[in-house]
A and B are shown apart, each in its own frame.
Chain A
Amino acid sequence: MTGRFALRLPAFAILIALGVAACDGGATSEEKTDPARQRKAAIEKAVQCLLDRGAIPDEQLRSATWLRDGKLLPNADFTDWYTTHDNVKYQGQTLLDWTEQAEKAGNTWRCPP
């Protein structure tokens, strides 16, 4: 599983960097069968954004196996972390709210400066 994400993340990062709009552009056929791929993309964007802004207190990240050099590498431990923090407020709104905004805006969403 990790291998798949290791492959996907760089592509994903490039898409963001170029501001490419097509959502399914780089998706493999396996990803197309994942009914959660849009939601997961939004989760990753929202959490990465909060990480970049230093909005998540360090003590909440102490045992995170899904974080390397400030980059989110989602795994099952991340599923657990997200689930147990989805109603925690970061910079005024809950993680769920952040995710919903990112999902609604799709590829046009940018991490607020």
Chain B
Amino acid sequence: MGEFVGVDPENLKELTKRLGQLHDLLARHSPLIQQKMQKWGSEVAVTSLPGLIAAALDDVRDMDARTTRAYELARQQGWSALSGAPGVLGLTLDRPPGVRLDWEATGQSAYQGERDAETLTAALAAKNPEDARIALLGLPESLRRHMADKDYQAAFWAGAGPLALRAARALYERAGGALFSAESLSVLRALGASLAAASQMRVGTGKDRRPLLPTATRATLTGNSDPWSVGMLVKYGPEGRSWDSRLLADLTRSMLDARAGGKDIWPPTRGTLETDADASRQQRLMAEYDAVGAVLQRAAENGMAARHVLGDEATGLKYARMLVSDSWHTPGYDPGPFLSSYAHPGGALPPTGQVDLSAPTAAFLKAAVSAERGTSVDAEESAWSVVHIVQATAEFSKLHPQTVLPKEIRQSLIYTADRYLPDLAASVNGYGNKARPHGDQPGAPWVSYVDSTALAEFLRQALHDPKDLGAFEGRMDARISASVAASVRDPNQDYLAQMSALNGLTARIKKDFNFDEAQRLDEKAQRFQTFLSIISGGWGALSFSKALGAGTASQVFVAVAQPPASELINTDHKIETYKINEDEFRARLLHVRIPVIQGLLIADLIDLPANTSWYQNGVISPNADFTDWYTTHERVVYGGRRLDEWVKDAEHAMDIQR
């Protein structure tokens, strides 16, 4: 127990306000003050200024907590803020009476945290959105002020935890266009931001170090009692990188489990749906307030969270199966009841009005395979994510042979294939599914291996669209220079032969698709255009030269795995198709030579005079001199193969001779 002092709550409130203003002013002008003092050569020590400002903020918080307590004591003494004065119509503001306050005990932000938790709990328990809204008017500001305050955060979430997580359900509007009022949004945003900040805080030291969020709160978060409300806190909370990756991963798993388990993941239905327009509006509302999508989106932004989920050796496949699916849309509704009995005599009709929700799912899948390649735990999780995504896709295709996955999801599969191309090339003849270090050299990067049957099904699903397939082939072709250089530097491994095997597999898949003439032209044009735009952008030289510096096998592998930067790729293939067909054979032959020679240059095997007209700034621009040079060098041996053999192997890898 500290010292009790008599205070006037209203004066205390005014004092707190002014202290707050003083702090704001100081904080705003501190950089200028420091700058000026230094400029003028002042003797006054200004280095401690930031520390003093932080202390001032603590004082503001303390005073704020005392003010809250003082008003509370006044209310306990029977005072009410709004009371009807006798004989006067309407309400007048009453000054609170003086109270006695334990100055020390209440001057701690933990106290404020407890009080705010109580306010929130009482407001949400009232079950009347209007009352809750009024009671919670001051909460967002308090939460924001204490965002980085561990004592407050610990007390607030210990007190408010489970109920705070259900705030969205207590606050939503029962009628009207928007589901949340501006004030409610402000509360949800503040709660989300506070939860995100608390998720990153740890308490204790050494062995005792643990998350600040109480176990009970974390259990409620992932306990699925009201997944929709939790999803709304995440939706209105900050960007994914402001959250703890483990918490977001746990949240993702629990949301996916809730969805798979048939739990209610959608926003509440308001009123009865009387017309087709009502039902259709409800579908759009479901899409707008999609809780699972909100969590997937934040986990995707976080990146590591997505990799924790799909990269888990034991459970990653289970969640990959849930994600690689054609079910990412709102449930839709039965239009039958809204049709006249003439048009529809009865019985259930196929659901209509579904809204596509696959974008966050696709973003999540991409994030799961996006760790920088290497030896880190993150790279390991990323590699396992690839394995699980390929397996899940193959299983989906097996279960639904006629179903094509939504475009967004297929794009994420293609993205996966691009990032792990050498891994998949090695898996064309693969046995079993596993992530492991590449070879047994030290510092080996993590790679993904999948079974050959799973790989074939995966590519069949991913490359369903002729243009996608063409673009993918074009990007594969463009890696010829990387594969040539890699084969030189890592002589144990023939990267061109592996790319050739992958090209053989895509050719086989293409044959199965049985494209019509127009589709075939699309695919061809896209392939050539993509290839050309990448190699003429000098990509091979740009992304490869640095990684090859030290020349170890691991670095070579990581370099080959580097997908071409997408901004360099012009995917608009509105070029004259006629022209391509006419010149195609000649042009392709020429353009196989370019990446091959590019690759040999990268591997430092060809020494060109500085004034070579066809090679400037790391980019080959073919001209008559280039053709001459090639003719006079085609039988020269570079890195164990003649130049024309390299070109032949590359043509084979690019499938030109098939």
Contact = CB atoms under 8 A, between A and B. Distances in A.
Interface of A: 1-2, 5, 30, 33-37, 39-40, 43, 63, 74-88, 94, 96
Contacts of A40: 429, 431, 452
Interface stretch (B25-33, B232-240, B435-443, B603-611): B435-443
B433 interface: yes
25 contacts: A1-B431, A30-B453, A35-B452, A35-B456, A35-B505, A35-B508, A36-B428, A36-B452, A63-B440, A76-B434, A77-B434, A77-B436, A78-B431, A79-B426, A79-B432, A80-B426, A80-B449, A84-B438, A84-B493, A85-B492, A85-B493, A87-B491, A87-B492, A87-B497, A96-B494
B438 A87 contact: no
B63 interface: no
Nearest to A75: B432
A26 to B, nearest CB: 17
Interface of B: 426-434, 436, 438-440, 447, 449, 451-453, 456, 487, 491-494, 497-498, 501, 505, 508, 553
Contacts of A30: 453
A84 B449 CA distance: 13
A87 B493 contact: yes
A1 B451 CA distance: 8
A49 B642 CA distance: 30
Contacts of B487: 87
Contacts of A83: 426, 493, 498
B456 A34 contact: yes
A84 B430 CA distance: 13
Contacts of A36: 428-430, 452-453, 456, 505
A48 B432 CA distance: 18
Contact of B447 (A75, A80, A81): A80
Contacts of B498: 83, 86
Contacts of A1: 431-433, 451
A94 B430 CA distance: 19
A71 B203 CA distance: 54
A38 to B, nearest CB: 10
Scoring A35, A37, A40, A85 by chain B CB atoms within 10 A of each residue's CB, the highest score goes to: A35
Contacts of A86: 492-494, 497-498
A75 B431 contact: yes
A76 B494 contact: no
B431 A5 contact: yes
B426 A76 contact: no
Contacts of A87: 487, 491-494, 497
Given A1-B451, A30-B453, A86-B493, A80 B429 contact: no
Contacts of A81: 439
A34 B492 contact: no
A96 B426 CA distance: 13
A37 B451 CA distance: 11
Given A33-B456, A36-B453, A39-B429, 13 more contacts: A34-B456, A40-B431, A74-B432, A76-B432, A76-B433, A79-B427, A81-B439, A84-B492, A85-B492, A87-B491, A87-B493, A87-B494, A96-B497
A108 B553 CA distance: 37
B40 to A, nearest CB: 66
B493 A76 contact: no
A37 B431 CA distance: 11
A75 to B, nearest CB: 5
Contact of B429 (A5, A43, A63): A43
A80 B576 CA distance: 43
A78 B430 CA distance: 8
Contacts of B451: 1
Given A35-B508, A96-B497, A76 B453 contact: no
Contacts of B430: 36, 76, 79
A84 B508 contact: no
A56 to B, nearest CB: 13
Nearest to B448: A76
A80 B438 contact: yes
Contacts of A34: 452-453, 456
Scoring A30, A43, A77, A94 by chain B CB atoms within 10 A of each residue's CB, the highest score goes to: A77
Nearest to B422: A83
A80 B498 CA distance: 12
A79 to B, nearest CB: 4
A33 B429 contact: no
A43 B431 CA distance: 11
Contacts of A43: 429
Given A1-B432, A1-B433, A33 B453 contact: yes
Contacts of B433: 1, 76
A44 to B, nearest CB: 9
A33 B454 CA distance: 10
B453 A84 contact: no
Contacts of B508: 35
Contacts of B494: 86-87, 94, 96
A6 to B, nearest CB: 12
B452 A88 contact: no
B452 A84 contact: no
A94 B649 CA distance: 15
Contacts of A77: 434, 436
Closest 5 CB pairs of A and B: A76-B434, A36-B452, A76-B432, A84-B439, A83-B426
A63 B494 CA distance: 22
Nearest to A94: B494
Contacts of A33: 453, 456
A93 B430 CA distance: 22
A36 B501 CA distance: 9
A33 B427 CA distance: 15
A17 B194 CA distance: 70
Nearest to B428: A36
Contacts of B428: 36, 39
